[in-house]
Amino acid sequence: MADYAPHDHDDGGSAVPEARTPAQIEADIVRRREQLAETLDEIGVRMHPKTIIGDAKARVASSVDQTAGRAFATVNRFVTDLRDGLRHDDGAPRVDRIVPVALVAVSLVGLLVVSARRTSG
């Protein structure tokens, strides 16, 4: 037969009855009441509208920062690739590629100007 010694405090899971003094029981009640008060305070802070709004703002800001960072990296990579495609390995411009790109760019700007004039007037 095992010898069971009384515990200083109740761990909430003991199946063996303990011989505790009224002072120990009262101390456990005070300790659990304090833990419950802390838990309720924490829930109150988490559920406060300002906390919820602040958390939502932080998530949105983080998402925007990540999206902006990815967009910047993509645009930067595109510009670098385009610039590299318009130069020879020695850095000299490739006129055979620059002229068609410039013509396309001028054509797009012209189409935008014509479109803007039609919608405004």
User: Strand runs (DSSP E) across the chain, as ranges?
Assistant: none
CA atoms in the 13 A half-sphere facing the CB of 99: 3
Q: What average pLDDT does the segment 29-48 reach?
A: 94
CA gap 29, 37 in Å, rounded? 12
Q: At what angle do helices 49-85 and 22-47 cross, to 10 degrees?
A: 50
| Position 54 pLDDT exceeds 70 | yes
How confident is residue 30, by pLDDT bands cut at 50, 70 and 90? very high
pLDDT value of position 118: 87
pLDDT digits (tens, 9 = 90+) for 55-104: 999 999 999 999 999 999 999 999 999 888 888 888 888 889 889 888 99
CA gap 98, 96 in Å, rounded? 6
pTM value surpassing 0.75: no
CA atoms in the 13 A half-sphere facing the CB of 3: 0
pLDDT digits (tens, 9 = 90+) for 7-24: 555 555 555 566 899 999
- AA letter at 50: K
